[in-house]
């Protein structure tokens, strides 16, 4: 299976459908994903907790792999996620990056970045223009 197809399955099955069994099929048991949470790596058990928490806040998640580049055992992807805010019914768009090393059909090393600040602004958990406020030195209360 090509790495793009594995990544597509990861996002469709895990993040769109909430299929937690797919985590073990696509992610090595000892893999720790770096970058999703500050100063913390996320393993398979953590994903089984993180994914349902995320999916409880949104409806109809759709992930698009906008750009994918493969090189040997590695693949990188720029992706966008479109969801509906469960609380308001408003559309929300997020973007992220993934850099992953594969062994066969499983991810064994991953580095992630997702624009959580913009995402949480859009669903009302952070104030609008949060980044601009922070850049002026204002504290967010």
Cα 124 to Cα 86: distance, rounded to the nearest angstrom: 11
Q: What pTM was estimated for this model as a whole?
A: 0.89
Q: What is the pLDDT of residue 45?
A: 92
Task: State the average pLDDT over residues 28-36.
Answer: 87
Cβ contacts of 34 within 8 Å, gap of 6 or more: 41, 110, 111, 112
The model's pLDDT over 111-132, given as tens digits with 9 standing for 90+, comes to 999 999 999 999 999 998 888 8
List residues bridging with 118 in a β-sheet: none
> What does the domain layout of the chain look like in residue ranges?
3-115
Q: What is the pLDDT of residue 79?
A: 98
Q: What is the pLDDT of residue 42?
A: 86
Cβ contacts of 90 within 8 Å, gap of 6 or more: 84, 122, 123
Cα 92 to Cα 82: distance, rounded to the nearest angstrom: 6
- The CATH architecture that domain 3-115 belongs to is Roll (3.10)
Cα 70 to Cα 1: distance, rounded to the nearest angstrom: 13
Q: Is the per-residue pLDDT at 61 higher than 80?
A: yes
Are the beta carbons of 80 and 110 closer than 8 angstroms?
no
Per-residue pLDDT band for 136 (boundaries 50, 70, 90) equals: very high
């Amino acid at each position: 299976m090509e790495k793009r197809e594995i990544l597509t399955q990861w996002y469709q099955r895990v993040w769109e459908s909430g299929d937690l069994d797919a985590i073990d099929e696509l992610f090595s048991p000892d893999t720790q994903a770096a970058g999703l949470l500050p100063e913390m790596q996320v393993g398979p058990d953590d994903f089984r907790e993180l994914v349902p928490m995320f999916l409880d806040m949104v409806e109809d998640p759709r992930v698009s792999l906008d750009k994918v580049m493969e090189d040997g055992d590695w693949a990188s992807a720029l992706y966008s996620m479109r969801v509906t805010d469960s609380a308001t019914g408003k559309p929300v768009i997020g973007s992220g990056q993934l850099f992953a090393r594969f062994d066969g059909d499983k991810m064994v090393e991953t580095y992630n970045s997702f624009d959580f600040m913009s995402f949480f602004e859009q669903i009302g958990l952070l104030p609008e223009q949060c980044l601009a406020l922070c850049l002026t030195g204002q504290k967010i209360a």
